[in-house]
Amino acid sequence: MNPWGPFVVFLVLGAAWTAVWGWATARSSGPSGSFDAVYAAGGILRRRLFYIIVAVLVVVFLVSIRYFPYRSLAEARLGVPTVHVTVTGKMWQWTLSQEEIPSGTPVEFEVTSIDVNHGFGIYGPSGHIVAQVQAMPGYTNRLVVRFAQPGQYLVRCLEFCGIPHIGMAAAFDVK
Amino acid sequence: MASQLLTGKNGPSLRVALVHLYAGFVLFLLMGLLGLAMRLSHAQMLPLSPALYDEFFTLHGSGMIAAILLGAMGGIIAVLSSRTQLDVRLLWIGFVLYILGVGYIPIAVLLGGFAAGWTILYPLPVMYQAGWTPWSTFAFLLGYLFVALGFGVWCAAVLLALARLHGGVTRALAWPFVFSGGRVHNPQPLPYLQDIAAAVISLYGIFTVLVGAVYLIPLFGQNLSLSGTVNSLFMKNFVFLFGHNVVNLTIYLGAALVYATLPVYAGRPWKTSWLSAFGVNVLFVTLFFPYFHHLYQDFANTVPLHILGELGSYGTGIPALLVTVMGGLLLVYRAGLRWAVPSILILIGFWGWVFGGLGALVDGTIPVNQVYHNTMWVPAHFHTYYLLGAVAFVWAFLYHLAADLSGRRESRLSRAAAWLYGIGGAGFVLMFFIAGAAGMPRRYAVPVPGTGEEILSTIASVFVAVLGLALAWLTYDLLAQLKPAWQRTRERAVHS
């Protein structure tokens, strides 16, 4: 997912809310009206808004399920992984079992940690985050990704893991 | 000038309230300076070593949450004290415990170098090769323990007072009214919405203290070499349930203060309807489930819990929007609202709560969280509904109380400062949102190339300076109001 997509959605919703808020705020200092009438109209509006919001959120939720990153759902969308890369986080370095990954192929990253929590964050050649998963001691989290764009991908730790955290990085090539 | 909050009998309670509120405000200002230092550091205008940066964000996060919660606790004391008697001795005990806890935090961080972040994600606090000492971890944990105990004592004092006022805790929660579908008006009159909210928060607060204990005990055990390692996923669930609850309880305490304050400026009552009473009680559910969204990227936490997190994140915003924000806007609509610092800050708070909530909603959607988790989007949305939501609500009440007790009139400049608070805050958080979408990690001591963090932090620093200017003016007002307000609480005469 391109991270700027949700940002635009957020800005549009935020602007709409700001307009509503500004409209109501601008009318708050006006001549005093009947509160009972306002309250009654507000009650009707509130009920309608409730149904609209619930309906919209149910649709968003149902659509979002298809794009869940969890293994079975990701495999259904991207295909069964044929490449498996083991990833181990350790204060303060990443160890990847391979540093060359084929493009257009579903890849499974098997991510774990041997000490503290780390965040396995993959940055694409354009500098955006492509996907991420937590590296937790005692657990292996399986992240399925299919890289469409060839190039060098950077791995940064996205979970604070001590003062040298900022230097915990690695790279792999997608060819 | 007659005070609305002073009854002639509640002077001791109001003094406890003032101490909570002013202490919280001072702590907030100090922590704000650390926040500014971090922005300046990312703007390359203030050199901070990674170790110092990490200490600053640890102190800033824990200190800010402690500050606003403390202020909000003080606000509720003041609100309740005009209608019921609170156990002042118990409140002072809670305050001393709380401040003791707050005191341990800077010792751990600035002297011991503790920098595991306010979320103290296990097992990092006990991994001393990360850059701190065992005793600093102990001091930090002790700080959390005492803050939690202080808050727990406050919850008990508030519950006792509410039970006395309404004839029982379930009546304070308006359960006979809520569960009868609004047919049984028991107790009579119905509790104010702020009372119902305070009761819900106090009960949930006690639950939160217990959750904190479940997390802290194994950490203490390992820190003192009394026990071995524990399951990381279990600990992560508990620490996020604890932290999530503390932050959200603070926000809803702020909302409770709004129910008590805004009607004074709108000249209209905030009615306890069945919907509003139900909406506040539903917090018992809506506060809990969203916490799973903190663990979306822990795939081991099972898919049903992730789904609960997404649905919970969506659901939690509905009562906040329809009961508090919409209720507040209806209250002021064509009300001939009296424009004053508190009413301006509350209206800014409505904007920020929803605007930040939208950011949370976006991030609460699992596929989006794949690219936003642990980026600056996270501080972006919670700074928005905290700084421009809960914090605005709490300081609105502080200003309202100080003005009410002191009788001092605010100037036009004070009202301008309140608006500047909103403008400075909005510009500041917007830079966070952009940095988050650009992939800038949170809790990162240096800007990541290609994210624009340097320029965004430079712009953010300018907006923080505007915010600082506004706060400086409001601080001047609050200091001028403090002495007469304090003296007023010593008067014995009953005021109307």
Q: In this structure, is residue A24 part of a structural domain? A: yes
Whether residue A72 lies inside any domain: the answer is no
Cα distance from N-terminal residue to C-terminal residue, chain B: 10
Mean pLDDT of chain B: 95
Compare all CA atoms of chain B with the CA of A33 and give the residue at the minimum distance. B334
- pLDDT over 80 at B496, yes or no: no
In a domain, B494, yes or no: no
Can you tell me the mean pLDDT for B239-267? Answer: 96
Query: What are the tens digits of pLDDT across the range B407-456?
Result: 988 899 999 999 999 999 999 999 999 999 999 999 999 999 889 999 99
Number of domains in chain B: 1
Nearest residue, CB atoms, B443 vs list A3, A32, A160: A160
Of the residues B38, B374, B377, B456, the best mutation for testing chain A's interface (the one with the most A CB atoms within 10 Å of its CB) is: B374
Residues in Cβ contact with B214 at an 8 Å cutoff, skipping those fewer than 6 apart? B238
Q: Which of A129, A144, A152 to mutate to test the interface with B (most CBs of B within 10 A)?
A: A129
Contact with chain B for residue A82, Cβ under 8 A:
no
pLDDT tens digits, residue range A109-145? Answer: 999 999 999 999 999 999 999 999 999 999 999 999 9
- Inter-chain CB proximity B334 and A30 less than 8 Å: yes
Q: Kindly determine whether residue A160 and residue B117, on different chains, have CB atoms separated by under 8 Å.
A: yes
Contact call for A10 and B441, based on CB within 8 A:
no
- Cβ-nearest to A117 among B232, B336, B355: B232
Beta-carbon separation of A3 and B266 below 8 A? no
Q: Among residues 114-173 of chain A, which lie with CB inside 8 Å of chain B?
A: 115-117, 119, 121, 123, 127-134, 136-143, 156, 158-166
Asked if B114 and B137 count as a contact pair (C-beta separation under 8 A), the reply is yes
> What are the residues whose beta carbons fall under 8 Å from the beta carbon of A52, sequence distance 6 or more?
none
Tell me the three state secondary structure of residue A22.
helix
pLDDT for res B492: 64
Residue A74 lies in a domain: no
Poorest-pLDDT segment among B54-58, B91-95, B266-270, B469-473: B266-270
Structure tokens at B69: 């919660």
Residues from chain B contacting residue A163 (CB–CB below 8 Å): 50-51, 54, 115, 130-131, 445
Q: Which two tokens stand for residue B169?
A: 């805790």
A48, closest residue in chain B (CA to CA):
B322
Query: Do residues A57 and A83 both lie within one domain?
Result: no
Closest residue to A163, CB basis, from B50, B448, B450: B50
Range of the domain at A142: 79-174
A73 within domain boundaries: no
Q: Is residue A140 part of a domain?
A: yes
Read off the pLDDT of residues A77-99 as tens digits, 9 standing for 90 and up. 999 999 999 999 999 999 999 99
Distance CA B365, CA A5 (A): 13
Q: Is the peptide bond before B123 cis (omega within 30 degrees of 0)?
A: yes
Q: Does the pLDDT value for residue B106 go beyond 70?
A: yes
- Chain A residue with minimum CA distance to B451: A127
Same domain assignment for residues A166 and A86: yes
Same domain, A13 and A95: no
Counting DSSP H helices and E strands in chain A, the numbers are 3, 9
Residue A6 lies in a domain: yes
Interchain contact, A69 vs B266, CB within 8 Å: no
Residues 6+ apart with CB under 8 A from B491: B6, B8, B11
CA-CA distance, B381 to B442, in Å (whole number)? 12
The answer to whether the pTM exceeds 0.80 is yes
- Per-residue pLDDT for B2 more than 80? no
Residues in chain A: 175
* Inter-chain residue contact B334 with A6, CB threshold 8 Å: no
B268–A35 C-beta distance less than 8 A: yes
Pairing outcome for strands A93-96 and A83-90? antiparallel
Asked whether B48 and B56 are in contact (CB, 8 A), the reply is yes
Give yes or no: residues A84 and A168 share one domain. yes
- Find out whether A153 and A79 touch, Cβ atoms under 8 Å: no
A166 and B351: CB-CB below 8 Å? Answer: no
Q: Which residues between 43 and 62 in chain A have a beta carbon less than 8 angstroms from any beta carbon of chain B?
A: 43, 45-46, 49-50, 53-54, 57, 60-61
Q: Using an 8 Å Cβ cutoff, are B65 and B250 in contact?
A: yes
Sort B8 into a burial class: Cβ within 10 Å, 0-12 / 13-18 / 19+.
exposed
Mean of pLDDT values over B301-310: 95
Kindly state the average pLDDT of the residues B293-321.
95
Are B335 and A28 inside 8 Å of each other by CB? yes
Nearest to B441 among A130, A142, A156 (CB): A156
Q: Note whether A39 contacts B330, CB cutoff 8 Å.
A: yes
A154, β-bridge pairs: A123, A171
B149-181 pLDDT, tens digit per residue, is 999 999 999 999 999 999 999 999 999 999 999
How many C-beta atoms lie closer than 10 Å to residue B390's C-beta? 30
* B301, B321, B368, B384: best to mutate for the A interface, most A CBs within 10 A: B368
Residues A97 and A160 grouped into a single domain = yes
Does A60 lie in the same domain as A92? Answer: no
CATH of the domain at B192: 1.20.210.10
In a domain, B4, yes or no: no
Q: Of B299, B301, B339, B442, which to mutate for an interface test with A (greatest number of A Cβ within 10 Å)?
A: B299
Cβ–Cβ below 8 Å for B335 and A119: no
Say whether both A93 and A156 belong to one domain. Answer: yes
A169 within 8 A of A156, measured Cβ to Cβ: yes
Looking at the partner chain, which of A17, A129, A140 has a beta carbon nearest the beta carbon of B355?
A17
Chain-chain contact of A156 with B355 (C-beta, under 8 angstroms): no
pLDDT number for residue B187: 79
B421 token code pair: 């608070």
To the nearest whole Å, the CA of B27 is away from the closest chain A CA by 25
Domain end (from A44, A67, A90): A67
A13 vs B contacts (CB less than 8 Å): 358
Give how far A94 is from chain B: nearest CA, Å.
Answer: 16
DSSP 8-state class, residue A2: -
In a domain, A137, yes or no: yes
Residue A103 belongs to some domain of the structure = yes
Query: Phi then psi for B169, rounded to 5 degrees?
Result: -70, -40
> What is the arithmetic mean of pLDDT over B79-103?
97
User: A144 and A167: one domain?
Assistant: yes
Q: How confident is the model over B456-483, as a mean pLDDT?
A: 97
- Average pLDDT value for residue range B368-382: 97
pLDDT of A34 strictly over 90: no
Distance, C-alpha B70 to centroid of its chain: 9
Question: What's the number of domains chain A is made of?
Answer: 3
Pick from B357, B401, B359, B396: nearest CA to B377: B359
Q: Is the pLDDT score of B494 beyond 60?
A: no
Q: How far apart are the C-alpha atoms of B353 and B357, rounded to whole Å? A: 6
Compute the nearest-CA separation of A80 from chain B (Å): 18
DSSP string, B281-306: HTHHHHTTGGGGGGGTT-GGG-HHHH
Mean pLDDT (whole number) for A59-69: 97
Domain extent for B240: 11-488
Whether B438 sits inside 8 A of A31 (CB atoms) is no
Provide the 10 A C-beta neighbour count for residue B2: 8
CATH of the domain at A122: 2.60.40.420
- Whether the pLDDT of residue B495 is over 60: the answer is no
Least CB–CB distance from A27: residue in B321, B334, B444: B334
Q: What percent of chain B has pLDDT over 90?
A: 93
